[in-house]
Amino acid sequence: MTHLSESAVLVLEDGSRHRGRAYGARGTTLGEVVFATGMSGYQETLTDPSYAGQIVLQTAPHIGNTGMNDEDPESRRIWVAGYIVRDPSRVVSNWRANSSLDDTLERDGIVGISGIDTRAITRHIRSAGSMRGGIFSGEAAALDAEEQLRIVQEAPQMAGQNLSADVSVDAATVTPAVGEKIGNLAVLDLGVKQATVDNLAARGFEVHVLPQTATIEEIRAIDPVAVFYSNGPGDPAASDGHVELLRSVLDEKLPFFGICFGNQLLGRALGLGTYKLPFGHRGINQPVRDKTTGRVEITAHNHGFAVDAPIEGVFDSPAGYGRVEVSHVGLNDNVVEGLRALDIPAFSVQYHPEAAAGPHDANYLFDRFADLVRENKDAK
């Protein structure tokens, strides 16, 4: 159990310092400091591979009251580089809990900090942008302030990092289809969440989760009816190999669906650019407009990069894949939140339709994908 009296400090690369209490494991951790706006679902956030390399700040002040359980993890481990909360719960109150949050963080070696003004840090990041940071606790808390800042400033930037190999499975896994089988689905694991696999299997796909090193020959070998690219961490501009693989998929006219990182990689495969957002979208309460229906969805996001494409109208793919349009738009800042190819069977969204945790407004996208695959099979 964490001893709340032990001191810790959060140091940002611009030199700002925030003193608090040690939370979770003791030591030093480095990463990109980002904030997540969900008021619940912290277990799903911690186990989302898209947060690899990031120190996550929860804007909701009270975290940990429902503890941790064995049913809600979204992957095989906690991926956040560090964790920042204001008021950790002193009592676990949920019938499914089998451990506390702080005990789990300590067991898994996740260095955190509590008891600091998370609102002030969030406002700072919103104005200055996401930046590198470090949490120092235990013996590291006593290091000289200049030494702590030097350590933070020598850490790698998120831009330019390819983290897919860190989070992907080493060997293929198969999840059987539920109900009537549509066919085999090749899922490139760039940081996939369990809820995504479950949603795809529930639509009738036999889900083959493949390592991020998979080749087009290995994808062909499972005789897929479609290909799916998952969410994941890192800079899409550093994933040339995955872009080339996707172009091979598109060349074969295999139906494609991508989410989050997969949306950015579809953008790149179509010949579009990507760029780093000032502070990103992270949380389960982000409004998005579906341009096809005009419907506004409340959606779950976790992305620090976005696709650069014209919001209105139809445009030609610079890479020669025909007509393309932006299908979904973020209402907070007009960021591209979805792409649809009009001449090949491919589409993607920047957010998380599996919404674990989060609202279910976008769950229909899995049905849209299943329908697209059935239509493509019928047309052959």
Active site positions, annotated = 260, 352, 354
Coil/strand/helix, residue 271: coil
* H helix or E strand, kind and range, residue 35: strand 28-36
d(CA 267, CA 264): 5
Token couple for 328 = 């979904």
**Contact present, 22 and 141 (Cβ < 8 Å):** yes
Tell me: cis bond preceding 357? Omega within 30 of 0 counts.
yes
Q: Return the sign of the alpha-carbon dihedral for residues 241, 243, 247, 248.
A: positive
Coil/strand/helix, residue 34: strand
Q: Which residues of 90-99 are buried (b: 16+ CB within 10 A; e: fewer)?
A: eebeeeebee
d(CA 141, CA 22): 9
The angle formed by the CA atoms of residues 347, 247 and 256, to the nearest 5 degrees, is 30
Token couple for 259 = 């989410």
Q: Which residue has the tokens 């009816």?
A: 225
The 8-class DSSP code of residue 139 comes to: G
d(CA 350, CA 174): 25
d(CA 291, CA 346): 17
Long-range contact set of residues 287-295: C-beta below 8 Å, sequence gap at least 24: 287/330, 287/331, 287/332, 288/328, 288/329, 288/330, 288/331, 288/337, 288/338, 288/351, 288/362, 289/328, 289/329, 289/331, 290/327, 290/328, 290/338, 291/325, 291/326, 291/327, 291/328, 291/329, 292/327
